Amino acid sequence: MTFNTFDTLQGSVRINLEKLSKVVNSGIPLTAFFFGILGYSFSFYFHFITVTFIYLTVLNFIYLHVQKRHALLSNYGIVAQMRYMIESIGPELRQYLFSSDTEEKPFSRVERNEVYRKSKGIDSSSAFGSQLLFNENEIKLRHSMFPQSKESLEAFSLCIGEERGLENSYTLKHPLIISAMSYGALGKNAIRALARGAKKAGILMNTGEGGFPKYHLMEDCDLVFQIGTAKFGVRNEDGTLSETKLAEIASFSQVKVIEIKFSQGAKPGKGGLLPKEKITKEISELRGVPMGEDIVSPSYHPECTTPQATVQFIKKVQDISKLPVGIKLCLGLEHEFLTLIQTMKALDIFPDYISIDGAEGGTGAAPKTFMDDLGLPIYKALPKVQNMLIKEGVRDRLKLMCAGKMINSGRQFMALSMGADAIYSARGFLLAIGCIQALQCNKNTCPTGITTHDNHLQAGLDIEDKANRVQNYIQSLDREYIELIAALGKKSLHELNDENLFLEGVY
Amino acid sequence: MPTQKVETKVLVFSWIFQIIAAIILGMAAWDKIVGTETSHYVFTTLEMEPAGRIIIASIESLAAIMLLSTSIPHMGAVLGLGVMMGAIIAHISKLGFDVNNDGGKMVMMMTVVIFSTIAIIFLHRSRFPMGEKDTD
Ligand SMILES: Cc1cc2nc3c(=O)[nH]c(=O)nc-3n(C[C@H](O)[C@H](O)[C@H](O)COP(=O)(O)O)c2cc1C
C-alpha cells in the first residue's frame, strides 16, 4: 500500500509537469493576444505586456520547434528552461542550504570553518561533541596520561641539507610550508598575499612550477623554487635543464631550497596543466610558451628515464644550485621507489628531502580520473616510505615531508607521527586567504579572486589583509601545536612517533 | 550562464548593423525628447502624451547605448526590436503607414531597425541561454 501511494505520487508529479508545460505553451501566445486586445480597446500602455509575451512566444517556439540539441526543451518548451536554471544554481543551493556541516567535499564546512577561524585569529571552542563519524577506519592520536607542562616544550627546528654538510643549508623554524602553487594557477594578488604572509609568519613558501618567481620575489619571503617537468623558468628550447638559468635563480638570496617535482598527488603520472582560459600574456612570457592553447607539461623529466639517471639529475641540480635540493612525488609502484632508494644508496647521492604527495592532494586543473583513482593516499603512502627508508638504513640521510589535506593540526600531527619531518599544505593556505571552495580553479572565474587573472575579481583580494590571515593561521596553529604536544606527553614535534597513533589493526 | 565566444569575423559584420540601428534609434529618441511636431502627433493619437513619449524615448536611448557596447549588444537588439514591435502594433492599429504625410519615411526607418536588430540577434544567437549546461 505504501509504495503504491509513492507510485501514484510520482506519476502525478510527472503528469503535472507535462500538463503545466502544455498550459504554459498555449497560454503564452493567448496572453499576448489578450493584452493585444486590451491595448487596442483601452490603453496603448497594455502593449508593453503584449510585446513581452510576443517575445516569450517566439522564444518558446524556438525551444519547441527550431533547436534540436536539448530534448527537454523541445518536449516541454520554456518550462524546461526553468529546470536548467534551477539546476545551474544547485551547487550554491546545496552549499548554502542543504548540505550538512560535515558533508561537503573535499573540505566540509566544519573543517573549513576551523581554518577560517584560525586565519581570522578567533580562538573558539565547539560544543556538545564531535560531529564526525567514528568508525574502524578512523586514525586517532593517542594522548598520554601524564601530559608535559607547556613550559618545558622545545621549539621546532629542522635543518634541510645538514646531512651533506651544506654551507647553504636551510633551517626551518616552522613545520608547515606553503605547498607548490604556481603563478598561473594562482593570480598575482594571491601569490603576493601568500608570500607576504609567509614573510610575516616566518615560514617557507614553494613557488610551484610557474617559471621565474617574479611576484614571490617582490615580497621577499624564503622560497623553495620548484622545477616542474616542463622546467618553466630554467628550460632550454628542447625542454632540458638550462644550467645557467638555474644558477641564476639559485643565486637569488630569497631562494633557499630547490625542489624537483616528479609527480603530484592530484594527477600522478601526468604533467602540470594550465587551461588556456588562464593564460595571460605575462604568463606566456614568464613560462616561454604560446597563448591560446592549454599548457600541458610532459609527464616526466626527459633527463630522468632510469633510477641512475634520476639520481644523477638530482646530483646535477645540487651541484649547480649549491642549495638543498628535494624531490616531490606521489607514491605509485612501490618497487620502483625502492629501487630509486637503493640506487641512491649505491651511488651515495641523496636528495636533501623527499616530499610525498598524497592522492587526496589539490590541484588547479586535472582530469577527474587522475584525481579520484590514481596514486596512494598520504596515510597509506607515508608509513610505507618511512619503513622503506628505515629498512634500507638511509632514513638519517634525508628529511621526509608530506602533503594531502593537511589543513588542521590533527591531520598534521598524524603525519608527523608517521615519520614526516615537516608538512606541506596548499589548500589550507588558500582557505586562509579566503577560498570558499567554489571549485572553479580551472576556469579563471574564482569568485574570491585567488585562482583567476581577472582584474575585477582580483581587486577584492586585499594583499595586506590576506597576508595577515596567513600570519594568524600560523599563529593559531602554533598555539594548538603547543596544546597538542603537551597532551601527547612529548617535549617537541621531533619526538612524535607511531606510538602516538591508533588505527585498528595497524598501530 | 556560460556565454559562448562569437567569432571575430561575425563580430565585425554585426557592428555594421549595431551602428545603423543605434543611429536610427538614437535619432528617434532625440526627436521624442525635444518633442517634434510629428512625435507630438504620434503620441497624441496613441493617447500616451507625454508620459509614453518620454518612456519610449528612454527605452530607445538605452537600446542605442547597449547596441554600442561590446558586452551586451545582443540585449540592446532585443530591447530595440521590442520597441519596434510596439511600433508595428501602433502603425497597424492606430497610425497607418503615412504618418503626418511623411511619405512612409517613419515606417521605412522602422523596417531598417527591425532588420538590423534581427540580424544582430541572429549573429549573437550563441550568447542566449539555450539550456546549455556547464559541462564540468
Ligand atoms: C591551485 C593549486 C595549484 C597547484 N599547483 C601546483 C604546482 O604548480 N606544482 C605542484 O607540484 N603542485 C601544485 N599543486 C599541488 C600542491 O602543491 C600539493 O601537492 C597539493 O595540493 C597538496 O594537497 P593539499 O592542497 O591538500 O595541501 C597545486 C595545488 C593547488 C590547489
B48 vs A44: CB contact, 8 Å cut-off? Answer: yes
A50 vs B89: CB contact, 8 Å cut-off? Answer: yes
Complex ipTM: 0.91
- A185-206: b (≥16 Cβ within 10 Å) or e: bbbbbbbbbbbbbbbbbebbbb
Architecture of domain A157-502: Alpha-Beta Barrel (3.20)
Contact residues for A177 (Cβ-Cβ < 8 A; gap 6+): A203, A204, A205, A206, A224, A401, A422, A423, A424, A425
Residue-level pLDDT, tens digit, chain A, 507 residues: 444 444 555 555 555 778 889 999 999 999 999 999 999 999 999 999 999 999 999 999 999 999 888 888 888 899 888 887 888 888 888 888 888 888 888 999 989 999 999 999 987 788 888 888 887 678 999 999 999 998 999 999 999 999 999 999 999 999 999 999 999 999 999 999 999 999 999 999 999 999 999 999 999 999 999 999 999 999 988 889 999 999 999 999 999 999 999 999 999 999 888 888 898 989 988 887 888 888 889 999 999 999 999 999 999 999 999 999 999 999 999 999 999 999 999 999 999 999 999 999 999 999 999 999 999 999 999 999 999 999 999 999 999 999 999 999 999 999 999 999 999 999 999 999 999 999 999 999 999 999 999 999 999 999 999 999 999 999 999 999 999 999 999 999 999 999 999 987 777
- What's the grid cell of residue A391? 629498512
- Whole-angstrom distance, CA of residue A454 vs CA of residue A366: 21
Q: Is B88 on the interface with A (CB under 8 A)?
A: no
Residues B79, B85, B91, B95, CA torsion sign: negative
- Whole-angstrom distance, CA of residue B17 vs CA of residue B117: 7
B68 CA from centroid of ligand 1 (Å): 43
Task: Output the CA–CA distances (angstroms, integers) from residue A284 to A65, A244, B13, in the order listed.
Answer: 45, 21, 31
A45 vs B52: CB contact, 8 Å cut-off? Answer: yes
- Whole-angstrom distance, CA of residue A292 vs CA of residue A290: 7
Q: What is the dihedral of CA A413, A418, A421, A425, to 10 degrees?
A: -60
B130 vs A69: CB contact, 8 Å cut-off? Answer: yes
CA distance B130 to chain A (A): 8
- What's the grid cell of residue B58? 528612454
A36 vs B89: CB contact, 8 Å cut-off? Answer: yes
B94 to chain A: closest CA residue: A40
The DSSP secondary structure of A113-129, one letter per residue, reads HHHHHHHTT------SS
A185 CA from centroid of ligand 1 (Å): 9
A79 to chain B: closest CA residue: B131
Spans of all domains in chain A: 6-92, 157-502
The model carries a pTM of 0.82
Q: Whose CA is nearest to atom 21 of ligand 1?
A: A362
Q: Is the CB of A406 under 6 A from ligand 1?
A: yes
* Nearest beta carbon to residue B82 from set A55, A88, A442: A55
Q: Is B94 on the interface with A (CB under 8 A)?
A: yes
Show the CA angle centred on residue A30, arms to residues A28 and A31, nearest 5°.
65
Q: Are the C-beta atoms of A229 and A261 separated by less than 8 Å?
A: yes
A87 vs B130: CB contact, 8 Å cut-off? Answer: no
- Whole-angstrom distance, CA of residue A183 vs CA of residue A194: 11
Q: Is B82 on the interface with A (CB under 8 A)?
A: yes
Chain B residues touching A85 at Cβ < 8 A: 129
Q: Is the CB of A259 under 6 A from ligand 1?
A: no
**Collapsing DSSP states into helix, strand and coil, what is residue A434?**
coil
A85 to chain B: closest CA residue: B131
- What's the grid cell of residue A324? 638543498
| Beta-carbon count within 10 A of A141 CB | 17
A44 vs B130: CB contact, 8 Å cut-off? Answer: no
Chain B residues touching A39 at Cβ < 8 A: 89, 93
B60 CA from centroid of ligand 1 (Å): 52
- Whole-angstrom distance, CA of residue A408 vs CA of residue A115: 7
Q: Which of A43, A47, A63 to mutate to test the interface with B (most CBs of B within 10 A)?
A: A47
B90 to chain A: closest CA residue: A44
CA distance B23 to chain A (A): 23
